[in-house]
A and B are shown apart, each in its own frame.
Chain A
């Protein structure tokens, strides 16, 4: 796939993701570890299970280590380096078995792939293991697209959806390109652009509670743009944004909702209808 820069909707922030060397993908493995992320664990567990189902559908055995918790991002972005490092070390130790790690949340995958190097910058011995984890870490849509090379038959009814991608995930993991291409494989799904598509939804972890007024203005604009896109629903592969956007829609008493891309994809390819 040609690595294109983000061509967002008219009027949108035109943002070029930093482009590291194009990633070389391995052949499809027989086993992977799923890192569920703390937000999914508590608030969107069904989507995590759907990620497992999607992987199993590709003939992959999925491990879910029960000792996993959080990638450490909340402390890292809040400036608490030592706390972030301790939590990161726990995950690093847990994921040290050489298996590919699939993460159904772009910003957490980005934490493994980009930021652990900074978190452990002063520990040269640890950095080797960090590098190994970075090489083995895949965001879910990236993994399905480039490693599994999925070939799907869309069993769902025709629908129109809007796609939201986390800003950091887009920049660090190219999730917008992966999700778009993956959705493009579904014959009955039309992806609609929305206004200022690449603009932040206002979550930003602790930003949403430290600056609630500014964050609130951002999520109001984002939810309005999503509703006005004409889409039936929004899909995203990032738990934080999803919690922010759905929480705001619920507070506004709007019927429009977003859901995790894993659940949407599973519904399309399994034919299982839930809502």
Chain B
């Protein structure tokens, strides 16, 4: 075990965080139990595999078509939303997006924000940005509320607090809210709800994400199960929606299959409890709804992925989380190991475009390429293929001009030399057979200390005779 790299040197890496997560039995049990349940729910939601495969194919085509018309659809969306009375803002970076949101709140002299669940706002680190400017930003999704209360980040894009079990939540509520400990899930939810209910009424601004932005009608569609999304988008006088530019689709017909794919893939639901369709602020004759609605469209590296035909498929994602639920790596290390906003397989392919490969150099390699993610993806993103592409971009030298932001993070001359040697070995039959001869004759001398392999395995010992050798003797046909 002396070969193990000291953990302290790795704490800031995927591998280092994975070591910590793997040692946490409670965490591993929480994830295994939760992911098994989610896999089963998804499977049960698609009882007919042919229907499922047909729907996935359709979902893939709808997203591919929408992306092929992305600039036009975004312009159409902006025009239609503007007609509907929604103010549309464009942000290239998360900094710009935060500034826009802040200025909207400032214009209203707001001090309290209530937030529905939004991964883009996590991407922006909006809570921190606003807190630094003395604006309280409260998460209203139960899972988000739990992680916010504990000063953590979400560990799953759909279920942010999935790394905690009910006992841990009970203890957290007891410590932070001063309530009695209870392991009754309904009671725990009620505790959270009572706290949040008042905040909805007090908030100056409500922030939400968007699941689908529909260009033809200028509609923002938002799915949720707790009602907090509807409260956040209707109770406060101002609603600010934040979303990535890839969420736009052509029309409502496109949404029907995508919605079905999303809710069934995520939690195995035929439909979510709430489906909010927001097409503008309160009209003069209406009794409720916000007075102002804003949409912030965020790029944050997405156009970089968009520019490459293969990597563009990353933007098909409808954020269902099925890839992480089915990922053997995610299941074992949990979401925080990824160290970024988007964990799991989708995180590995989307994050490099946002923060650059130098920030997440190990993400592409942290996969056995087993392909479970790609097999369950509702919009058929070929995640293993894209991981492999990122690996290619990651080992390029500066001269080879990597095509992904900050590519070449894993470029190593030493490793190149090893692969050149491997190539020579496998392209020269004489050299290869000499290698086989040596390895089989000197098998007892084969190195026992073969790097990280021996942490999990006995040292491999070559056979006495190679297959080349055995086959030649058996077939007695020389070099045929």
Contacts and interface: CB of A to CB of B under 8 A. Distances in A.
Given A74-B422, A247-B456, A247-B457, A199 B328 contact: yes
B413 interface: no
A233 interface: no
Contacts of A67: 429, 479
Nearest to A208: B453
A69 B432 contact: yes
Interface string A156-181: 00000000000110010000000000
A167 B372 contact: yes
Interface stretch (B149-157, B298-306, B463-471): B463-471
A212 B470 contact: no
A16 B53 contact: yes
A38 to B, nearest CB: 7
B468 A49 contact: no
Interface residues of B, number: 78
Contacts of A5: 49
A64 B471 contact: yes
Given A42-B439, A77-B391, A213-B15, A251 B479 contact: no
Interface of A is mostly: helix
Interface in B442-480: 451-458, 460, 462-463, 465-472, 474-475, 477-480
Which of A18, A78, A213, A250 has its CB near the most chain B CB atoms (within 10 A)?
A213
Interface stretch (B80-88, B97-105, B194-202, B362-370): B362-370
Contacts of B259: none
Contacts of A80: 392, 395, 416, 419
Interface in A44-86: 44-46, 48-49, 52, 62-70, 72, 74-81, 83, 86
Given A42-B462, A78-B395, A199-B328, A64 B480 contact: yes
Q: Chain A interface: which size bin?
A: 35 or more
A250 to B, nearest CB: 4
B164 interface: no
A214 interface: yes
B36 interface: yes
A211 B14 CA distance: 9
A27 B22 CA distance: 51
A18 B452 CA distance: 33
Contact of A41 (B367, B436, B477): B436
Interface stretch (A143-151, A215-223, A263-271): A215-223
Given A63-B480, A171-B371, A203-B368, A41 B391 contact: no
Interface string A201-231: 0111111111111111111100000000000
A100 interface: no
Contacts of B36: 11
Contact of B457 (A40, A206, A244): A244
B367 A204 contact: yes
A245 to B, nearest CB: 9
26 contacts: A11-B36, A14-B43, A16-B376, A42-B436, A49-B470, A63-B475, A64-B472, A77-B388, A80-B416, A167-B372, A168-B369, A199-B372, A202-B328, A204-B367, A207-B367, A207-B368, A210-B365, A211-B15, A211-B365, A212-B455, A213-B15, A214-B22, A217-B332, A218-B332, A251-B454, A251-B458
